[in-house]
Amino acid sequence: MIIPVYKPVGITSFRVVSRLRTASGVKRIGHSGTLDPFAEGLLIVGLGRASTKLLGQYLHAPKEYYGRIVLGTVTDTYDPTGRIIEQNSFIIPSEIQIQESLERFKGEIQQIPPLFSALKMQGKRLYKAARQGEKIIPPPRRVNIFELELCGLNEDGFNLRVVCSGGTYIRSLAYDLGRDLGMGGHLAQLKRTRIGNFTIEQTVDLEALITQLKTERTGG
């Protein structure tokens, strides 16, 4: 069974899978691509061996996100959960300046993943190495930004919509945009709204799904 689940803010994707495993009694459960704890939105989950085998196709499918970038403040994780490593005073750029910056990141680009990510290098997860004070710089990798749209200015930054290839880090994109604008920045909010043909309108509430699975399991 493939289920589009709405992952709320404050919970890991792993925790979503763990709770569904407990509720359903199904041991073989997986998801189609991690959403960080601070992010929310569409998480495709597969229940059962047959379904988990299908998840790979969604890992590489185009994805749509809406995000909010805060300018002037750089964190070591490129998101609001990290330690502030740089603080710059600035004047909010004009829409034209931001649009010009966005244009430079459209299409096929080379992107360096965040130091705090689950990628494995030299036998270690990058986030574990970073927490231990080791700075392992991952090599850039090719990703594709199909659409990049400015969705409005805020007093401390701007909102944007991104449609991109699988494997794209929106945190890295936010960091790179901040650098390109000359003041730094980080990704303050993120919502995933589409994976392939699945959209956020199709998602199931996590708590409601857990209740349903428990009921089906116990026959209550």
Residue 69 pairs with which residues in a beta bridge? 158, 187
Given 3-state DSSP classes, what are the helix, strand and coil percentages for the chain, each rounded to the nearest 5?
30, 35, 35
Does 36 qualify as catalytic in the annotation? yes
For residue 103, what are the CA distances in angstroms to 68, 72, 179, 181, 190?
17, 21, 14, 12, 20
Residue 139 pairs with which residues in a beta bridge? none
Determine which one of 36, 76, 176, 205 is catalytic.
Answer: 36
Structure tokens at 103: 């244009």
What DSSP assignment string belongs to 130-168? Answer: HHTT----PPPEEEEEEEEEEEEE-SSEEEEEEEE-TT-
Asked if 188 contacts 164 with a C-beta cutoff of 8 angstroms, the reply is no
Residues carrying an active site annotation: 36
